[in-house]
Structure 1
Amino acid sequence: MLDLKGRVSIYQPEQEGLIFPYEPSFESVEEERRHRKERLVGACRAFAQQGFDYGFAGHLTVRDPERPELYWTNPMAIHFDKVKMSNLILVDHEGNVIEGTHAVNRAGFVLHANVHEAHPDIIAMCHAHTVYGTAYAALGRPIEPITQDACAFFEDHVIIGDEAGAVAVENHAGSNVATAFKGVKAAIHQNHGLLTASRHSIEAAAFWFIALERCCQQQLAIAAAGIPPIYIREDRARYSREHVGSEYIGWLHFQTIWDQLVQDCPDMFD
């Protein structure tokens, strides 16, 4: 067991005075709301960079800090690359748009509202129709501990087989997804795709979605090689997950993406 000396992660520097990302603190709920909305927009732009767009499919959500029964999400039929502060919408668990002028994605509302309502501790959630995640989901298999990257999800994701392949447009359709997210950060919805959730931040939810898609690509590539992989021992997989798979590490990874977006995409804040 490593002695972190009061730090959240081994990756935090012990030496003081070095430039390093630190988690924010807020002086008002308005400040925290703006922060969450900005990072939600950033997560959408990151998904655009990753090529996660597929028509109007794909939805990211984050709770409002003052009214946790409501959540902010990307507007229906707006490309991830065009999501900005001014077109975000605030939605309740019934699918009503409380703030904003755009419609809500019906499937997104059904899936995300059920998860947010069933798990008050979940702050953010992500879903998109990606190439490798959707392909891997057709196998109905978990991510195997065959790379260090994959260990971030070891015993921290589930397979959802119920109603596999049926589009979630009826309110009850999200109930199985909500049940599955008890105590895990990711789910593979069989014949559908990937979902991630975070009890920490939208940044963590977004990065772990990007990471899970990458793991699916890796696992499909390994399978295509036709050579049985060498599995990482369970104790080593858990050790790696502890140090590279936490909510904090997901947040920390996203900071590099955020800094790049701030420089390259100033229109996010319009």
Structure 2
Amino acid sequence: MLDRVKRVSIYQPEQPGLRFPEVPAFATPAEERRHRKERLVAACRSFALHGLDYGFAGHLTVRDPEHPHLYWTNPMAVHFSQVKVSNLILADHSGRVVEGDHAINRAGFVLHAAVHEAHPDIVAMCHAHTVHGVAFAALGKKLEPITQDAAVFFEDHVVIGDQAGKVAVEDGAGAGIAAHFKGVKAAIHQNHGLLTVSRHSIEAAAFWFIALERCCQQQLMIDATGIAPKLVPPDKARFSREHVGSEYIGWLHFQPIWGQLVQSQPDMFD
């Protein structure tokens, strides 16, 4: 039996010798940087797979492991499906590109740089203009614990009304939004869309974004029936969140996506 002290989730097998994803450890910052860049590319490709693209809108970021004042992000005006290791850009909190050939997304810099600067514990952040997330954001309300899946966001997301509907392109526009990310993994920005963060990995931030979009779709479908749903009681919602809504579980959920992309899209490592 595995030492229970070393287990962070009941989903980790107790029976030894079974194949199961393991959170990697790194010998050098360079090794960890390569890992984060590859997973950032995979996160972008996963957004393409799930139809989360909208023109040049959408930005995913991950903090550099050696230089935490810098972060890697997808290049401006490159489709999620065409993001690869070689065209990622590295930027600082002022929006200056310090490595890479492409320009940075202005709105992405204003929002993401503010969050990364205000919260040194946040490793990664995701945002995209999605059909169901944007539609749900127009309601200006939180998700309800209508399902076990939605329960992972119970008491772990906020609705942000600051600057609702105004494009964030001015310096300082992200500061007010950044203040809302203390202790939560997701936000619904009214009249704008969804944002997720992770203090663990880009994989967790990306999966929770995919999950949040899906939960918004389900909430809209249920609301359209006109029938009030039976909610998961708060105690059970918290129980589900603790077991299937952790950073580790978000990372674990992304592993089959990673595996599928490695086999089907090897060009992402170019």
TM-score range, shorter chain: over 0.9
Q: Find the aligned partners of 2:143 and 2:36 in 1 and give their Cα distance.
A: 30
Which residue of structure 2 aligns with residue 135 of structure 1?
Answer: 135
Which residue of structure 2 aligns with residue 15 of structure 1?
Answer: 15
Which stretch has the larger CA shift, 59-68 or 4-13? 4-13
Which residue of structure 2 aligns with residue 54 of structure 1?
Answer: 54
Q: Find the aligned partners of 2:216 and 2:184 in 1 and give their Cα distance.
A: 18
One-letter amino acid matched to 1:268:
M
**Aligned residues of 1:91 and 1:98 also touching (Cα < 8 A):** yes
Q: CA deviation at 1:6?
A: 3.3
One-letter amino acid matched to 2:135:
A
Residue aligned with 1:12, SS: coil
Residue aligned with 1:152, SS: helix
One-letter amino acid matched to 1:260:
Q
One-letter amino acid matched to 2:148:
Q
Which residue of structure 2 aligns with residue 76 of structure 1?
Answer: 76
**Aligned residues of 1:69 and 1:117 also touching (Cα < 8 A):** yes
Q: CA deviation at 1:79?
A: 0.1
Task: Please list, as runs of the form range in 1=range in 2, the aligned pairs for 1:163-182 lying within 5 A after superposition.
Answer: 163-182=163-182
Q: CA deviation at 1:4?
A: 5.1
Which residue of structure 1 aligns with residue 106 of structure 2?
Answer: 106
**Aligned residues of 1:145 and 1:237 also touching (Cα < 8 A):** yes
RMSD: 0.9
Q: Find the aligned partners of 1:164 and 1:22 in 2 and give their Cα distance.
A: 40
Q: Deviations over 1:234-266 (max 9, x none)?
A: 000000000010000000000000000000000
Q: Find the aligned partners of 1:109 and 1:175 in 2 and give their Cα distance.
A: 12
Task: Please list, as runs of the form range in 1=range in 2, the aligned pairs for 1:78-97 lying within 5 A after superposition.
Answer: 78-97=78-97
Q: Find the aligned partners of 2:205 and 2:231 in 1 and give their Cα distance.
A: 26
Task: Please list, as runs of the form range in 1=range in 2, the aligned pairs for 1:248-267 lying within 5 A after superposition.
Answer: 248-267=248-267
Residue aligned with 2:155, SS: coil
Structure 2: state its 5+ residue gaps.
none
Q: Deviations over 1:159-211 (max 9, x none)?
A: 00011000000122101221000000000000000000000000000000000
Structure 1: state its 5+ residue gaps.
none
Q: Find the aligned partners of 1:30 and 1:162 in 2 and give their Cα distance.
A: 38
Q: Deviations over 1:7-36 (max 9, x none)?
A: 100000001100000000111111000000
Mark the CA change 1:4 to 1:157 in structure 2 (over 3 Å): closer, same or farther.
Answer: farther
Q: CA deviation at 1:226?
A: 1.3
One-letter amino acid matched to 1:234:
P
**Aligned residues of 1:160 and 1:176 also touching (Cα < 8 A):** no
Which residue of structure 2 aligns with residue 243 of structure 1?
Answer: 243
2:211 paired with 1:211 = yes
Q: CA deviation at 1:225?
A: 1.2
Q: Deviations over 1:80-126 (max 9, x none)?
A: 00000000000000000000000000000000000000000000000
Which residue of structure 1 aligns with residue 190 of structure 2?
Answer: 190
Residue aligned with 1:241, SS: helix
Q: Find the aligned partners of 1:114 and 1:57 in 2 and give their Cα distance.
A: 18
> What is the count of residue pairs matched by the alignment?
268
Q: Percent identity?
A: 76
Q: Find the aligned partners of 2:36 and 2:30 in 1 and give their Cα distance.
A: 10
Q: Find the aligned partners of 2:29 and 2:163 in 1 and give their Cα distance.
A: 39
One-letter amino acid matched to 1:120:
P
Deviating above 2 A after TM superposition, structure 1's stretches of 4 or more consecutive aligned residues are: 3-6
Q: Deviations over 1:22-80 (max 9, x none)?
A: 00011111100000000000000000001111000000000000000000000000000
Which residue of structure 1 aligns with residue 32 of structure 2?
Answer: 32
